[in-house]
Amino acid sequence: MTALAEYYVPGLHIQDHSIQVPLDWKDSRPGKEVKGETISLFYRVVCAPEHVHDDLPLLVFLQGGPGGAGPRPLSPSSDGWIAEAVQHFRVILPDQRGTGRSSHIDANDIVQRGNGKQQAAYYKHFLADSIVRDFEHLRLMEFQGKRWVTLGQSYGGFLTLSYLSLFPEGVVASFTTGGIPHVPADAYEVYEHTFPRMETKTRQFYERYPQDVDRVAKVASIISEHNIELPNGDPFTVERLQTLGSRFGMKPSFEQVHWMLDTAFADGDGSAKSAMRLTSTFLENVAATTATSPLYWPLQECIYANGELERPLAWAAQRVRDTMPQFSVDARPLLFTGEAIFPWMFEQENALRPFRAAMDELMADTHFGVIYDAERLASNEVPLQAAVYVDDMYVDSSLQLDTLSRVGRSHYWATNEFEHDGVHGDCVFKHLYQEALNRGDLEELFAE
């Protein structure tokens, strides 16, 4: 295993690596010769400086997303779980296929794949069934088949259940934080649970900052009455304004949106009463806050597609929203929306327009790779410790607990102390690790 680079950041020793994996795993198997078109899988190996030469157990981090690159730590404490993990493990930080330094995807890559059907077929190579095969290939080829621990954050928890469904023999123990999917998977069911949570989050935001009820209404009025463009050329619509709530399940997003609105108006004293114009600073902040990525939004509903579907996804979030008039662009107080894709995004947003043909195909498709095996999960023998955030806006806690009730050797810690991003503090992973240690779930790990 030859490093591309080896260096230190404060408190951490890092090695950069890359291997080749097949774009399409159809004709290849993890740990065997790679066939067909290949792409690069980039990963980092991270440890504490004092453990550089120690033979430590391995922990691989399954990043959230979809379409999220691995962490770029500034120090052990810059991403709280790392500080605890490097005390016990050598940590593997992969960039999932299509992200970071792993054969990065952009609009040009998609367009060059051909028509909408060909683009959609290409997109489906960047879902959980391929990601997990990449990681198992990495384990077998670069780490001599040594079994490892997995830590999955958010979508990384979805990947965890895929890993335990497809390659449980590669895993000693698993941790997840805010990321147990419902099995069986159903995108429409997910949004039936998350839209009401988004309504609650919006009302909590307005209760904390009541002056923002009028501010948001005024912004909506101004952009409804005028043709306003964001700095990137996108039209600024009420639907786009509502997506400012997409991060309301993390801290300190309430404050971030509040202070954005504080400088929204260019007239008078900046209050909603006298406002007629929006500041360029506010428009720049909206564009940056609602920025898109070529994997995160297009694959947002596809991550719930498991094998042969009874019915297509068919814009599940939009269909749920259509049943809830309180989310109308004309409703007041205006409600924010969460982590959901809508057809208008692929019409209004320059960054997403190239993907509209592929999206039309994906939303009508019923053929996807198998990502969960309910029977295998029921008989699972890999210890699984999950942090379930009771008020999680993105991954409904009741659905998480229902799944965990049907996964063998699973344990959970349900808490309302943290939001969806709790693992980035210094408590969550430490708590999960101690729970697993005290239960004896890691005995095999340290016996190897």
Q: How many angstroms separate the CA atoms of 382 and 113, rounded?
A: 39
Residue 445, pLDDT > 90, answer no
Average pLDDT of the residues of the chain: 95
Residue 1: what pLDDT?
A: 67
Q: How many angstroms separate the CA atoms of 155 and 158, rounded?
A: 5
Q: How many angstroms separate the CA atoms of 19 and 34, rounded?
A: 11
Specify the CATH superfamily of domain 5-185+371-443. Answer: Alpha/Beta hydrolase fold, catalytic domain (3.40.50.1820)
Axis crossing angle, helix 155-166 with helix 128-142, rounded to the nearest 10 = 70
Per-domain boundaries in the chain = 5-185+371-443, 187-364
Q: Of the candidates 372, 420, 441, 361, which has an alpha carbon nearest to the alpha carbon of residue 64? A: 420
pLDDT band at 381 (very low <50, low <70, confident <90, very high): very high
Neighbours of 416 (CB within 10 A): 11
Helices (H), 102-210: 107-111, 116-123, 128-142, 155-166, 187-208
Q: How many angstroms separate the CA atoms of 113 and 323, rounded?
A: 36
Residue 448, pLDDT > 70, answer no
Neighbours of 217 (CB within 10 A): 14
Model confidence pLDDT, tens digit, residues 259-290: 999 999 998 788 888 778 999 999 999 999 98
Q: What are phi and psi of 259, to 5 degrees?
A: -75, -25
CA separation (Å) from 326 to 94, 247, 331, 400?
41, 20, 6, 27
For the chain, the distance separating the N- and C-terminal CA atoms, rounded to the nearest angstrom, is 21
Q: Of the candidates 160, 88, 168, which has an alpha carbon nearest to the alpha carbon of residue 131? A: 160
- DSSP letter at 138? H
Give the tokens for residue 142: 């670069």
**Residue 19 bridge partners (DSSP):** 41
Residue 313: what pLDDT?
A: 98
Residue 149: what pLDDT?
A: 98
Model confidence pLDDT, tens digit, residues 28-77: 999 999 999 999 999 999 999 999 999 999 999 999 999 999 999 999 99
**pLDDT mean over 233-262:** 96
Q: How many angstroms separate the CA atoms of 73 and 46, rounded?
A: 10
Neighbours of 447 (CB within 10 A): 7
CA separation (Å) from 34 to 17, 19, 145, 159, 348?
18, 11, 17, 22, 40
Contact criterion met (CB below 8 Å) for 35 and 24: no
Q: How many angstroms separate the CA atoms of 104 and 98, rounded?
A: 4
